[in-house]
Structure 1
Amino acid sequence: MLKATLRLLATTDLHAHAFGWDYHADRPKAGVGLSGLAHLIDAARRECPNTLLVDNGDFLQGSALGDWAAEVGEDIVHPMISAMNALGYDAATLGNHEFSHGLGLLRRAISDADFPVVSANLESTTDTPLVAASVLIEKVISDGKGRSRPITIGITGIAPPQTTVWEATQIDGQVTASAAVPAARQAVEALRRAGADLVVLLAHTGMQADQGLMRVEAVPENVAEPLARTSGADAIILGHSHLVYPATDTGTERRDGGASKGLEKPAVMPGFFGSHLGRIDLSLRHDGQRWQLGDTRAEVLLPDAGPGPHARVQQACGQAHAAARRWYGERIGKATDHLHSYFSRIFPCDIVRLVAAAQAGHVRRALGGTAWAELPLLSAAAPFRAGGRGGASHFTDIPPGDLNLRHVADIYPFPNTVVALIVTGADIVDWLERAVIQFATLTPGGREVPLVQEDCPSFDFDLIDKLSFRIDLTRPPRFDLNGERLQESRRIKELSYLGQPIRRQDRFVLATNSFRSAGSGGFAGCRPDRVILDDRKLSRAVLADFLAEAQRPFAEDTFRWAYEPVGSSVTFDSAEESVRHLADLAALRPEVTQGGAAGFRRFRLWV
């Protein structure tokens, strides 16, 4: 009987981080980048020659390198594809952000890949196929003692069906998405019938509790547990939620999404940006008739701090990396104030004002001379880089002085476009109610309650400028993360526009972005029949133009909101550097207190 180990090595959510580099600050960044993982990949292959290297999606977009590749277009092989080719990837699946720069770039990029890209639940609606549902890989397994046998490994993958909502503008109806669990199950069964001895599922999905998931027609976003129970795959690679599974003890930033009891199949979720390498060792034996799976071991590995850039990755895309840095260094304007996002989730923030003002200016010009120009114009914006799962370095901090393109991308990191909607006063109220679900429900006289709930992303704290209102945190949230009504409760009080109370029947033009207008997050009024402007102008380009022209980037009367006094103390964590800006929080009487993860500082505030 032949006995051997098959090793699966996995990356996920690389987001175009080929190197350990912070493009927003233009400096090295430890603990991220495919280049750092490449040394681990080499060592793991030397230790176990029977190895497959796979990626679990979201590899094309998310850094200056990916943005630069999108700007250059057809003339180059995408630098992430070059790096993955150089490292000898065996397969990959599509994540939702593969579509963020458009179908044209995606098709060009994967056409240059030396490895198959698969997806069982994303399909083209055109005559041009997107990718195969699955692939069979033939490999020879050796026991290290001169005996070997061929093995057929099936690989398939899934992505969140919400992809067609989040990336609706880029997909433009040319891709459909089906529910992940049945699609995976069918693909695995088809691979078995086609002769697969072993099946690996590349599942671009996470494992959070059901109540925190976005749903499309009652289909949840993160489905690791049902996939493990019912897909029939022998091993699963997870991702999408930027967490780590199995959990490590290297800091609260690296968590397992609540899967404390573990999954029913060997699985890994190796972080994001190249923070970890997933490794699953599968013990195999062949009895002369068929392969049988024995013991398994799944773990995540951290890259070593010592080695410099990996030679093959450097050769593959080092020039593109240098070009992206030069591109991000282009000057576009000047900042007269210090712009930061340290408290953007709990207090009016100049960066959010800036984005709102830029959007409003673009919409005002675009609608000039139309019937819509007679309506009041509002603009909705949210903080993007505001800590959370991105860690203590995931904040914007721009001192006064020259503004470069990298600063614009720091403020607005996503390739969204500006969209204008026609909305009512009733929509405005529910929009704000949806935004403020991030806050905990407080009891008068309560002490040390975390003010912001961890499972609410910062980009859903989407407030609207030129409005005045108060937030009553003694009331429970009206909506859940999907925009589904939980109860009749109202947190928004004394809502007015330019000093006048807003009535349900009032009509407004609302500037927002393509991600939101497509329905992401379930905000009120985000429907195709409400869109009155969609000229595909990138939000980041609108912001860059605004900064190039503006002497002072925002009006002083925007985002006038405050908390209804409760008489409770709350806690909030921000980066260590935020201590320098505590004067911004004077109204909340901030005090430095104990606690906070590595790189964070905890504050006690009074609401």
Structure 2
Amino acid sequence: MSTFKLVLLETSDIHGNILPLLYGTNKKAELGLAKVATLIKQERKRNEHTITIDNGDLIQGTPLTYHYARFQRSQPNPMVAILNDLHYDAGVFGNHEFNYGLEMLNQAVKESRYPWLSANIVNSKTGEPYFGKPYLVKSFPGGPRIGILGLTTKYIPHWEKEEHIRGLRFEDVIVTAKKWVRFLKEEENVDLVVVSYHGGFERDLDTSEPTETLTGENQGYELCMEVEGIDILLTGHQHRQIAGKTINGVLVVQPGCHGLTLGKVTVEFQKSQNGFHVVKKDSELLSVDGIEPDSSVLASIQSYEDEVQKWLDQLIGKIKGDMTVTDPLEIRLKDSALMEFINKVQMHAAGVHVSNTALFDNHSRGIPVDVTMRNVVANYIYPNTLVVLKVTGQIVKDALERSASYFELSDDGTTVVVSKTFTTPKPQHYNYDMWEGIQYELDIRKPIGERVTRLEYNGAKLLPHQELEVVMNNYRAGGGGNYMMYKDCPVVKDIPIDVSELIANYILEHEIIEATVNHNWKVVY
């Protein structure tokens, strides 16, 4: 009886991070695809039989990928070029793959020397997989047949601009998996079924208790429990680090984000008269801490990097006053010059008097006195555009209540902390909005759903039926972040220019920006 060992390597949610640095500060960091590349090559030297898969959210996320999308499209996509050179076996579509539109995505797919797998993204007219290949079968001489099925969170239409996904339909992950896993087992006669799913888990992996609202955005747990025949589930999207976990016999893995780790699955087979059978499978995450970046990856990216660094260092204006961030929690408790400024830019671009925006993460440092493009993209990190919705006073109140649930009080009632629903399993600081153009107070001593204690417009109480035109980013306007109250609101206008570009243009136009705070809102505790 012979044995066979296979190693599966997974990257996910790289989000354009190649070099081991943070673009906002240009300081070194223990992350990035260049470091991951070193680990991949090491694993291939140690193991004869390997398969390498990227699980999505590859081509968007850093100034380098933004600059490429805006100014360098005539050149090869740098992210795809690196995966080509690393001889990836397959890739899966993440939700952020669609951020720059189908034209750029189709270009990336065309440039790839590996297949992009997508079973549940189908042509809205024919029902056939839109990108061609739902799965890949990988075989080894004298070894087992491995079936790899690609799936993507079906929730994308809730976030993405319609024109970026026109002609596509995102089918249910569970229904799709049942169809194709059975096909792989019965028609392709594979010995191992690997599902690479750009999605995560809405339940605790140990207790099965819900960890977030069960929306269907992250159906990983259901895939393990309801789809017979899956051996290994590669996941992503939530930026969690998961290894060594098994759900209903399915080994699950998730390698975090930004190239912090490489997911590794080791599978051992035995061959008998009836074929190959799995006798052991386990997983681990390989950290890039202390790993030297791969020199060939660094060389391949250098021309792109030179251009983006010149662009980032352009001086575009000055701030009179203080728009920096010293405490990200404090800036979410009361009005600040930074958030007021971004809302002002949005209102200026949209020609309306009410706006909301968010401090996207806790790494934002704000905008210093001498402003460069680096400062802008470090604070506005997503390629969002703007949408103006017609909303009622009741919808505004409902949205504020959703934001107010971001906070909770410590057990002794003296300290404000961030609710675990916004931090676990994935940090969601970007789902707390701050408004300009209305006056409001949130009292977080009160129960969730009853925290809006003041809500006024132009000095008078905002009535439930009263209509306002509000500008917000396209992610929020589509209901992203469980702001479903916006989902059916009439769209007054779209502003199809990236918000970071609007901010930069506003600073260039005005040259000197005065930092102002009108204290139109606060959190009471």
TM-score by length of 2: 0.91
SS of alignment partner, residue 5 of structure 1: strand
Aligned to 1:279: 264
Match of 1:600 in 2: none
Mark the runs of 5 or more structure 1 residues left unpaired by the alignment. Answer: 142-148, 248-258, 365-375, 387-393, 479-489, 564-606
1:292 and 2:260 aligned = no
> Is the CA contact 2:383–2:498 (under 8 Å) kept in the aligned structure 1?
yes
Q: Cα gap change, 1:180/1:471 in structure 2, threshold over 3 Å: closer, same or farther?
A: same
Q: Give the superposition deviation at 1:427.
A: 1.8
2:337 to 350, 365, 368: 350
| Amino acid in the other structure paired with 2:337 | D
Match of 1:560 in 2: 521
Helix, strand or coil: the match of 2:486? coil
State the partner residue of 2:490: 530
- AA partner of residue 354 (structure 1): F
Find the counterpart in structure 2 of residue 70 from structure 1: 69
Matched, 1:464 2:431: no
Q: Which segment drifts farther, 547-556 or 91-100?
A: 547-556
Matches within 5 A, 1:79-90: 79-90=78-89
Residue among 155, 168, 189 paired with 1:195 = 189
**Does residue 25 of the first structure (1) align with residue 25 of the second (2)?**
yes
Worse-matched range after superposition: 345-354 or 58-67: 345-354
- Rounded to whole Å, the distance in 1 between the matches of 2:77 and 2:268 is 36
Which AA in structure 1 matches 2:483?
Answer: F
Deviations 1:20-54 (A, max 9, x none): 1211212322x210111111111111111111111
Distance between the aligned counterparts of 1:352 and 1:16, measured in 2? 26
Confirm or deny: 8 A CA contact 2:357 2:472 kept in the other structure.
yes
Task: Give a deviation string over 1:151-182, Cα, whole Å, max 9, x none.
Answer: 32211121211112211345253221112122
Report the equivalent of 1:572.
Answer: none
Residue 95 (structure 1) aligned with residue 94 (structure 2): yes
In the superposition, relative to structure 1, how do residues 348 and 264 fare at CA in structure 2: closer, same or farther (>3 Å)?
Answer: farther
Q: Write the mapping of 1:444-483 to structure 2, written as runs, cut at 5 A.
A: 446-447=412-413, 451-456=417-422, 457-478=428-449
Q: Which among 198, 201, 226 is matched to residue 204 of structure 1?
A: 198
Deviations 1:318-374 (A, max 9, x none): 32222222222222222233433433333323222121110001111xxxxxxxxxx
Q: Which has the higher contact order (CA 8 A, sep 6+)?
A: 2
Q: Secondary structure at the match of 2:445?
A: coil
Give the corresponding residue for 1:591: none
**Aligned residue among 293, 308, 317 for 1:333:** 317
Deviates more, 1:171-180 or 1:270-279: 171-180
Determine the structure 2 residue equivalent to 1:494: 454
CA contact (8 A) 1:428 1:524 kept: no
TM-superposed CA distance for 1:194, in Å, is 2.2
Structure 2 segments unaligned to the other structure (5+ residues): 204-208, 423-427
What do residues 360-399 of structure 1 show as CA deviations (whole Å, max 9, x unaligned)? 01111xxxxxxxxxxx72111111122xxxxxxx232443
Q: Does 1:542 align with 2:482?
A: no
Task: Return the alpha-carbon distance in structure 1 between the equivalents of residues 252 and 118 of structure 2.
Answer: 18
Q: Does 1:431 align with 2:399?
A: yes
Q: Secondary structure at the match of 1:534?
A: strand
2:386–2:499: 8 Å Cα contact kept in structure 1?
A: yes
Structure 1 residue 181 corresponds to structure 2 residue 174: yes
Distance 1:512 1:399 in 2: 24
- Compared CA separation, residues 306 and 53, structure 1 to 2 (3 A): closer
Distance 2:288 2:523 in 1: 44
SS of aligned partner of 1:228: helix
The corresponding residue for 2:145 is 152
Letter in 1 for 2:79: M
Equivalent residue in structure 1 for 2:301, among 300, 308, 317 = 317
Q: Cα RMSD over matched residues?
A: 2.3
Q: 1:522 to 1:281 in 2, by over 3 A?
A: closer
Paired AA for residue 451 in structure 2: R
The alpha carbon displacement at 1:406 in A equals: 1.6
The answer as to 2:167 corresponding to 1:164 is no
In the superposition, the TM-score normalised over structure 1's length comes to 0.79
The equivalent residue for 2:288 is: 303
Cα separation, 1, equivalents of 2:129 and 2:103: 13
Query: How big is the shift at 1:450?
Result: 5.4
Verify the 8 A CA contact 1:416 1:513 in the aligned structure 2: yes
Letter in 2 for 1:329: D
Percentage of pairs with the same residue = 24
Quote the residue 1:119 is aligned against: 118
Task: Give, in whole Å, the separation in 2 of the partners of 1:562 and 1:239.
Answer: 34
- Amino acid in the other structure paired with 2:513: R
Contact 2:367–2:376, Cα closer than 8 Å, also in 1: no
**Counterpart in the other structure of 1:510:** 470
Counterpart contact for 2:116–2:131, Cα < 8 Å: yes
Instruction: Please name the residue that 1:573 is paired with.
Output: none
Aligned length: 508
Cα distance change on mapping 1:72 and 1:449 into 2, 3 Å: same
What is the deviation of 1:448?
A: 5.7
Query: 1-side partners of 2:104 and 2:508: how far apart?
Result: 28
Q: Once the 2 structures are TM-superposed, how far is the Cα of residue 228 of structure 1 from its aligned partner?
A: 2.0
| AA partner of residue 57 (structure 2) | D
Which amino acid in the other structure matches residue 115 of structure 1? Y
Aligned partners of 1:124 and 1:175 also within 8 Å: yes
Match of 1:391 in 2: none
**Is the 8 Å Cα contact of residues 385 and 395 (structure 1) preserved in structure 2?**
yes
DSSP 3-state at the match of 1:334: strand
